[in-house]
Amino acid sequence: MTNILETVANVQNEFLFVGAIYKQPELFVEYGQYTKSKYDFSDEVTKFFYDVAEIMYEKRTQTFNKTTITTFMTEDTERLASYKRYGGWKILESWMNLAIVDDFKNYYEILKKYSLLREYDRNGYNVEKIINHPKFEMFTAVDIYRLIRGKVDRINTVILTNSESEILNSKILDMVNGCLEKPDMGLQTPFSMWNDLFRGIKLKTFLLIGMLSNAGKSRFMFKLIAFITLVLKQKTLVLLNEMTIAQMRFCLLTTVINNQEFQEANGIHLTKKEREITLGLYKDKNGDFIYREKDEWDNFSETVDEYIKRVNDNSSEYRNIVKVAKWIEDETQGLIFAKDIGTAYDDKSLEFEIRKSSITQGIQYIFYDTLKDDKSSIGDWSGLKVTATILSELSRQLDIFIYGSIQLTDDTNYIKPDELTSSNIANCKQMKHIVDVMLLFKEIGNGDFNKYGYLASDTDWGEPSVHDLSLDKRYYCATVDKNRFGAKKKILYEVDLDLNTWYEVGELIRR
């Protein structure tokens, strides 16, 4: 038995695997989820250095060099003793010099092959014939599994997928009592019907929002992002492939200035259109815009600093918006992370960014605007479905919430807002089968207001009564087309895109 165990170890490959990790730590993002040192390393030295690298990358730093590694080792006496005993920086450096990052996938395959063989051997299966097979060097872990499948499914599950099956009909009583202690709810949102229908913003959930082009997909998303970060103090990652980072900042500022939830939090009550902010237009006490002074030849006669000072001295509106901007910066330090992926939104890059944010920054709330794949420009709906499937799987694997926005088809213009279905999604109506929650938004035309009413969601007593839509307001209907957590209703929002205000007013009904 001892000889066999020695045979089913490839320590040289373990050196190369760990050396490549230290050479390029971002390999953890793709391969860390599948590597389990308990099973995958036969040598205690490689296991030690891999475990250290994993802790460093996830908890401390993504920069690996002699200084960062040595500093981390010295923080714990026992860890430092092991580091010195196993050769310290000198041995690590030698592994890094030997490792070829481009060959890492091969190192991984070999690591898994020997890991699988050791587990088979420990569980009493005769692996000697496999080892002595003339084509053994060509075998992958999957090839070996296929040779003796049927008897070893559980071992394969642990080694190759890093997961173990559970007995479904156990722990049910614990689950029931656990919900008494902590109800199965997600984060609360500024929308009461969301909290009721979807149980808030739950982890392990993929939620999809659909709207027509230029209807406010990004703006609605930013109200949720602002609420999650500024009110609930949760980290978020925003992946953008249509908006720029600058546009995102303007949208965030406008959202916080105008929506009541944030006015109550910062104590500053005013309204300001995003267009005026972007153009630098602020009013004085008489309600007139303050413009930069020019000479008779139409050239600016005051410097930028002089102009800013004059605006500050004469506009309380400007002073209040400066206070809001500073409040946002103070309240969201380290909470909102943004990445423009407009030049690389293929599935592999998208998955990498999400995994990295989860592993290295502990982010659990991901927002992706707008959902598309690298083939969707040529009308490949199947590619978009693959992208959505990946996002859905990531939400469960990483225990995160993913919000995606998507564009509806042009013919949606001819469909009543409360009659939208997944068939109106551009390129891919089958998205409905993948997501946990799907809402499809469309504005209600002013001429159709008489056809609808809404049940007030904030009625204090008695049965909710039907209210009319006000002709001086703008309304969007959000049709809940998919909901794994409960009922499907039609939610009415009062909207002002210039101010980016979104207020849930109740359940839309036909008269």
**What is the predicted pLDDT for the residue at 460?**
59
Per the listing, tokens 């709810």 go with 185
**What is the predicted pLDDT for the residue at 376?**
46
How much of the chain, in percent, has pLDDT values that exceed 90? 66
258: which 2 tokens? Answer: 């105008």
Q: pLDDT tens digits for 425-484?
A: 765 667 888 999 999 999 999 999 999 999 985 555 567 788 999 999 999 999 999 999
pLDDT band at 380 (very low <50, low <70, confident <90, very high): low
Give the domains, in start order, of the chain with CATH numbers: 2-161 (1.10.860.10), 192-510 (3.40.50.300)
Q: What is the strand order of the sheet 205-211 is part of?
A: 336-340, 236-240, 365-369, 401-407, 205-211, 437-443, 475-483, 490-496, 501-510, 452-456, 466-467
Residue 6 has pLDDT above 70, yes or no: no
Residue 1 has pLDDT above 50, yes or no: no
Amino acid of residue 41:
F
Contact in structure between 427 and 379 (CB atoms under 8 Å) = yes
Per the listing, tokens 């406010």 go with 216
pLDDT band at 241 (very low <50, low <70, confident <90, very high): confident
**What is the predicted pLDDT for the residue at 511?**
87
**How far is the C-alpha of 22 from the C-alpha of 215, rounded, in Å?**
47
**What is the predicted pLDDT for the residue at 424?**
80
When mean pLDDT is compared across 23-37, 132-146, 171-185, the lowest value belongs to 171-185
Average pLDDT, rounded, for the chain: 88
**What is the predicted pLDDT for the residue at 175?**
67
Residue 67 has pLDDT above 90, yes or no: yes
Question: Mapping DSSP to helix (H, G, I), strand (E, B) and coil, where does residue 48 land?
Answer: helix
Q: pLDDT tens digits for 412-428?
A: 888 889 988 887 876 56
DSSP 445: P
Average confidence (pLDDT) over 188-211: 95
Most confident of 332-346, 454-468, 481-495: 481-495
Question: What contacts 480, CB < 8 A, 6 or more positions away?
Answer: 197, 437, 438, 439, 487, 488, 489, 490, 491
**How far is the C-alpha of 365 from the C-alpha of 240, rounded, in Å?**
14
Residue 153 has pLDDT above 60, yes or no: no
**What is the predicted pLDDT for the residue at 433?**
87
Higher pLDDT, 160 or 317: 317
248: which 2 tokens? Answer: 């995102």
**What is the predicted pLDDT for the residue at 138?**
87
Higher pLDDT, 241 or 276: 276
Contact in structure between 440 and 420 (CB atoms under 8 Å) = yes
DSSP 255: H
Residue-level length of the chain: 511
Residue 2 has pLDDT above 50, yes or no: no
Contact in structure between 260 and 458 (CB atoms under 8 Å) = no
Q: pLDDT tens digits for 36-65?
A: 898 999 999 999 999 999 999 998 999 999
Question: For the whole model, what pTM was predicted?
Answer: 0.82
Quickly count: other Cβ atoms within 10 Å of residue 176's Cβ: 9
Q: Which of 466, 416, 471 is nearest to 440 (CA)?
A: 416
Q: pLDDT tens digits for 258-296?
A: 999 999 999 999 999 999 999 999 999 999 999 999 998
